[in-house]
Structure 1
Amino acid sequence: MAQFNITITEELLHGLFLSNGRDEAFSKLLEEIFNQVLLAQSSEQVGAEPYERTEERTAYRNGFRDRQMTTRVGTLTLRVPRHRNGKFSTELFARYQRSEQALILAMMEMVINGVSTRKVEAITQELCGKSFSKSTVSALCKQLDPMVHAFRTRPLESHYPFLIVDALYLKVREDHRVQSRGLLIAVGVNEAGYREIIGFQVANTETESSWGEFFASLKERGLKDVRLITSDNHKGLVNAVKRHFQGTTWQRCQTHFSRN
């Protein structure tokens, strides 16, 4: 691993320890360190210091381009070297992009777990020194839609002889109002005994019609030859099971039975 000598000016140190704007001072310090690292990496790849004449030179500098990096202490403006007859490369931004991706995934997870986009905006401001607007958070979460759709519509190629179905009620925000919605869930148990969520569907109410629509979609995707279905004793659910899985044994879930 390459080692670099970093020079810190007296002005930066005074700002760091004496200034009331501590984050701003850290930001300037970090910006200076990163820019010196980039310059040292450039010299290493070129084979010469700026304006140095040497036979070991392998390329020539061609100025700089500015690139911003958002950090916990603020947005840094970094001067990225350009090489005339060679490409400058650095791991600095690749590592930053991995951290940024982790932050985006964390924001998505917060929203999925019920944290409002307004609260996510405040949290990112606290953690990163820069907030992501509610619209930005919403746009990022919409990137999940194609993945969720692909998961919900994937062909069911495995054989699931046992099926567990249930409804989970969640609070969702629609039209600026928090409302209760049912999530119909089907868990398949394959021949090896492993459980797998094979489908889910949002329903306004838990009725025979909504369960029937859900079961029909599972069968269209390839669910067949189910030997045993376990669920609670909801009348609409049981009727839908009898209609869509004729000849399949139904058993009341003992967990629901003991709760009731």
Structure 2
Amino acid sequence: MTGWDTVEVYVHGVSTRSVDDLGKALGADNGISKLEVSRICGELDAELAGFKERPLDHTVFPHVFLDATYCTAQVDQRIASQGVAIATGISATRHRETLGLMVGDSRSKPFWTKFLRTLRAHGLENVRLVISDSHSGLVAALRTVFLGSAWQRCRVHFVRDVFSVIDKGSAEMVAATIRTTVA
């Protein structure tokens, strides 16, 4: 098992002990020690820090998608659900690039404000349109940090919300209506 294989299984939530057992099962003589896993994850932390600190002024991203997903993480010696916010920029030439990510309470305005200010500090400017879910904290942070940028509700989130409140017997008719009006 290479160092990056170890990182991948560890990032996917496999415990240090299980990584060691997996290494032994794959033929490593001594398995992988906790110290080795920590060293490899330290390298990963350094690469992630470099990614998060890189400048974003190499091109203009007039369109930015913001989203968050939840994962289980260790926070202050306890296991908790945390939001992982991701910003994806679309350049004028339609080039997509992940602009940044941040872990925290992704429903709060302070969290989104901090995340967006970090992106701005790294050179993200001239954003004309932001597409996201309609979390009130996210929308409020956008109005604070990217004043003058338009905001649009993500169609995927909109459709999910519609289907969560209609009865299943109406789903086909509603889907057809959405396709004809939104397309």
Give the TM-score, by structure 1 length. 0.58
Judge conservation of contact 1:167–1:206 (CA < 8 Å) in 2.
Answer: no
Residue matched to 2:55: 155
Residue matched to 2:22: 123
RMSD: 1.4
Matched residues in 1 for 2:12 and 2:76: separation? 19
Q: Could you say if the C-alpha distance between residues 111 and 201 of structure 1 is closer, same or farther in structure 2, counting changes exceeding 3 Å?
A: same
Matched residue type, 1:139? R
Q: Could you say if the C-alpha distance between residues 233 and 196 of structure 1 is closer, same or farther in structure 2, counting changes exceeding 3 Å?
A: same
Deviation at 1:194, TM superposition (A): 1.7
Deviations 1:77-116 (A, max 9, x none): xxxxxxxxxxxxxxxxxxxxxxxxx611101111112211
In the TM superposition, structure 1's runs of 4+ consecutive aligned residues that sit over 6 Å from their partners are none
Determine if the alignment matches structure 1 residue 192 to structure 2 residue 93. yes
3-state SS of paired residue (1:106): helix
Matched residues in 1 for 2:45 and 2:84: separation? 16
Matched residues in 2 for 1:175 and 1:118: separation? 21
Residue matched to 1:221: 122
Larger C-alpha radius of gyration, 1 or 2?
Answer: 1
Tell me: higher relative CO, structure 1 or 2? Use CA pairs within 8 A at least 6 residues apart. Answer: 2
Determine if the alignment matches structure 1 residue 103 to structure 2 residue 2. yes
Residue matched to 2:39: 139
| Aligned positions of 1:1-260 closer than 5 A | 103-127=2-26, 128-157=28-57, 158-260=59-161
Deviation at 1:205, TM superposition (A): 4.6
Matched residue type, 1:239? A
Matched residue type, 1:150? G
Give the TM-score, by structure 2 length. 0.82
Q: Could you say if the C-alpha distance between residues 205 and 165 of structure 1 is closer, same or farther in structure 2, counting changes exceeding 3 Å?
A: closer
- The alignment covers a number of residue pairs equal to 159
Matched residue type, 1:119? S
Matched residues in 2 for 1:241 and 1:121: separation? 44
Matched residues in 1 for 2:16 and 2:30: separation? 15
Judge conservation of contact 2:106–2:112 (CA < 8 Å) in 1.
Answer: no
Deviation at 1:175, TM superposition (A): 4.9
3-state SS of paired residue (1:180): strand
Judge conservation of contact 2:107–2:136 (CA < 8 Å) in 1.
Answer: no
Deviations 1:16-41 (A, max 9, x none): xxxxxxxxxxxxxxxxxxxxxxxxxx
Which runs of no fewer than 5 residues in structure 1 stay unpaired?
A: 1-101
